[in-house]
Amino acid sequence: MPEPQDGTAVQQLKTTEQAPASNPDRSQGRMPRWTSRDWLALSLLAALSLLLYLPGLGSYGIIDPSDGIYAEAAREMLERGDWLTPSANYKPFFEKPILIYWLIMCSYKVFGVAPFAARLPAALSAVACVVSLFVLTRQMLSRRAAFLSAVCLASMPLFAVIAHLSLTDLPLTFFMTVGGLGLLLHLRGKQSPALTLAAYASLALIILVKGPAPIVVLGLILAAYVALSKPRELKPWYRWWGQGLAAVKPLAGTAIVLAVAAPWYVAEGIATQGAFYYEFFVRQNLGRAVGAVNHQNPWWYYAPVFAVGFFPWWLVACLNGRALWSNISKPVLSSDRRALSLFSAVWVVIVVALFSAMKAKLATYILPAAPGLAILGGLTLDYWWRSKKGKSIIAFALPFVIAVPAALLFARPALERLLTLPPETLWIIGSALAFVFLLSLAAGIFALLNKPRKAVISMVAATLAACAAFVPSGLFADYWFSHKPLKELVERAQSDGAAIALYLRDSPAACFYRRGKVNELYTLLDLKLYAQDQSRPKSLLV
C-alpha cells in the first residue's frame, strides 16, 4: 500500500503491515488488551528488578563525592526540618532542584538515616523504569519483544551501577522514559487522558529533578523523529508538523507541567532572593555546557563509557544492524515496530551526541540513552528468537568467553588486591565468574547448533547474573579500598572528641558520618590558624 498523499492526521494514517495472528491488537491507534500473560510478565520484571537492585544496597558506606552529596544534603534538610532549600555542609547547595532530596528525606523518615535509605529512591526508580519500559513498549510491540527490551535495560552495567548509588540520573531516566514514550504513543494515535497526564507529569518531574535541560533534549528527539518519519509525498510540510504538534496536546501539557513544577521554583526564588536562579541556571546549566565549571573531559570520553556501560546490548543491536536498518529505512508509519525502531535510534544518537558536544562530561550523563538502546537490543533478541539462524549470536558470546580467562591470566596485581576482600565477597565474585562464563559458553554452543531461542535465554541469563553479582560486589570493593578508611578516620575522631577539617577538598561523606558540620580550609592561613588552636585534638583530610 503506498504512503498516504493527503494531509490526514498522524493518528488516522493506515498501517501497511498486518500484525501477526499471535498479537492481532497492535494496529495503529489502538491499545492492546492486556491478558494474564502480560500481567505475569510485568510481575516477573518487577520481581527480577527488585532482586537485581535491592540486595547489597546498604552493604557499603557512602562513596564520595556524588553518592555522598545527596545523602548528606537530604540528611541536613531533615535535621533542620527544611523542605525547601538544599544545603551541603550547612551551606546552601543549588546544583540540583529539590525532588531528589524530597525522595531521600522520605526514605530517611521510613528507614532512618543510612546509606541504604539514601540509595533506595534510585533503586526504586530503576525498578519503575524497567517496568514502565515494558508497559509503554507493549502498546507497540509483541509481549516478547517488550519483555526482552525491559530485560536489556535491567541488565545494562551502567544502569545497574547507578541504581546502587544516591544520584539524580535514574529518576531522570525513568521520567524521560515515561515522557518520551508517552508522547510517541500520542504521535501514533494511542491517546488517553491517563497517558496524557502521565507523560506531562513526568516532564514536570524532570524539571524538579534535573531542571529544564533534559526537556530540550527530549524535544530534539521528538522533533527529529517527526522530521524523519514524514512521508515524502506529503505536502505541504508544515501540515505534517502541525498535525504532530496537535497530537501531543501542548496546551494541556503545558498546564500540567506548570502546575506541578512551578510552585517550588517560585518559592525557592523568593526564599533565596534570586540566588538559586543565578547559581542553577547560569553557573550550573550554562556553565557545564560551555565548560566553565568542573568535569571537563575530551570529546571521545563517552566512547569507552558507552562500550562498557551498555555492553552487551549495543553489540547485539549492531550484530542485527541490517534488520534494524530495514525497520528504520522503510516507511516508518506503516507499523509501530518500525516507528519505535526509528524513535529509539534517534533517542540514542541525540543523547550521546549532545553530551559529547558539551565540555563538561560525566559517565552518568548518557544514562538517558539506555532505554532507547535497550529497545533496539530487545528488538534484535526478538528477531533472533523468531529466526531460524542463530550463528550471529556467537559474536556476542565470544567477548565473555575470552574475557574471563584473560582477566584471570593478565590481572594478577588486581587479583592479589582482591584477595584482601572479605571471604564472602570473594566467593560471590568467583562463583559469578564461573556462572557467567558457563552461560556465555552455552550461548555460543546453542548458536552453533542453530538453536537461537536457547542461545537468547543463555545470553540474557549471563548478563543478568553478571549485573546481579559484579555490580554490588564491585561497589563494595571500591568502598573497601578507597572510602572505608575515611569512615574509620571520622569514627576515630568522633571517639577522641577531635575536630575534623577538610583542606582543599570536598567530602560529603565526612559530614554524613560526623552528623554535623566539618571545617573547610582553603588557604595556608586557614590551615595555620586551625593548627594553632590547642583547645582539642584535630584530624585533617587533604
Residue type, 234: L
For residue 60, the Cα-to-chain-centroid distance in whole angstroms is 21
249's grid cell? 496536546
The one-digit pLDDT tens for each residue of the chain (542 residues) are 333 333 333 433 333 333 333 333 334 556 677 889 999 999 999 999 999 999 889 999 999 888 999 999 999 999 999 999 999 999 999 989 999 999 999 999 999 999 999 999 999 999 999 999 999 999 999 999 999 999 999 999 999 999 999 999 999 999 999 999 999 999 998 888 899 999 999 999 999 999 999 999 999 999 999 988 888 777 777 888 888 888 899 999 999 999 999 999 999 999 999 999 888 888 877 766 665 566 778 888 999 999 989 988 888 888 777 767 776 766 766 788 889 999 999 999 999 999 998 888 889 999 999 999 999 999 989 988 887 666 566 665 666 556 556 555 555 556 666 767 788 777 777 787 788 878 877 887 887 788 888 888 888 998 898 888 889 988 998 898 888 988 998 888 888 888 888 888 888 999 999 998 888 898 888 888 888 877 778 888 87
**Torsion angle, CA of 215/42/159/373, rounded to 10 degrees?**
-70
113-164 pLDDT, tens per residue? Answer: 999 999 999 999 999 999 999 999 999 999 999 999 999 999 999 999 999 9
Q: How far apart are CA 107 and CA 103, in angstroms?
A: 6
Q: How far apart are CA 426 and CA 419, in angstroms?
A: 7
Q: How far apart are CA 181 and CA 188, in angstroms?
A: 10
**Phi, psi at residue 312, to the nearest 5°?**
-100, 10
Burial 363-384, CB ≥16 within 10 A → b, else e = bbbbbbbbbbbbbbbbbbbbbb
Pairing mode, if any, of strands 91-92 and 499-503? unpaired
pLDDT at 389: 64
Q: Are 499 and 448 in contact (CB under 8 A)?
A: no
Q: How far apart are CA 302 and CA 320, in angstroms?
A: 23
Q: How far apart are CA 530 and CA 449, in angstroms?
A: 72
In sequence order, the 6+-apart residues with CB closer than 8 A to the CB of 501 are 518, 519, 520, 521, 530, 538, 539, 540, 541
Residue type, 425: T
Query: Which residue blocks in 90-192 are alpha helix, DSSP H?
Result: 99-111, 115-137, 143-154, 157-162, 169-187
pLDDT at 230: 82
pLDDT at 121: 97
Q: How far apart are CA 3 and CA 367, in angstroms?
A: 36
**Torsion angle, CA of 184/185/191/193, rounded to 10 degrees?**
-70
CA 195, 199, 204: angle at the middle one, nearest 5? 145
How many other CB atoms are there within 10 angstroms of residue 24's CB atom? 11
Q: How far apart are CA 266 and CA 274, in angstroms?
A: 10
Pairing mode, if any, of strands 91-92 and 87-88? antiparallel
Q: How far apart are CA 450 and CA 389, in angstroms?
A: 6
pLDDT at 398: 61
Cell 562530561 appears where? 361
Q: How far apart are CA 226 and CA 187, in angstroms?
A: 9
203 SS3 class: helix
179's grid cell? 515522557
Reported as type and span, the H/E element at residue 359 is none
Cell 516507528 appears where? 339
Predicted TM-score (pTM) of the model is 0.89
CA 403, 404, 406: angle at the middle one, nearest 5? 65
pLDDT at 498: 84
Q: Are 109 and 96 in contact (CB under 8 A)?
A: no
pLDDT at 66: 85
520 SS3 class: strand
Query: Which residue blocks in 27-114 are alpha helix, DSSP H?
Result: 36-53, 66-80, 99-111
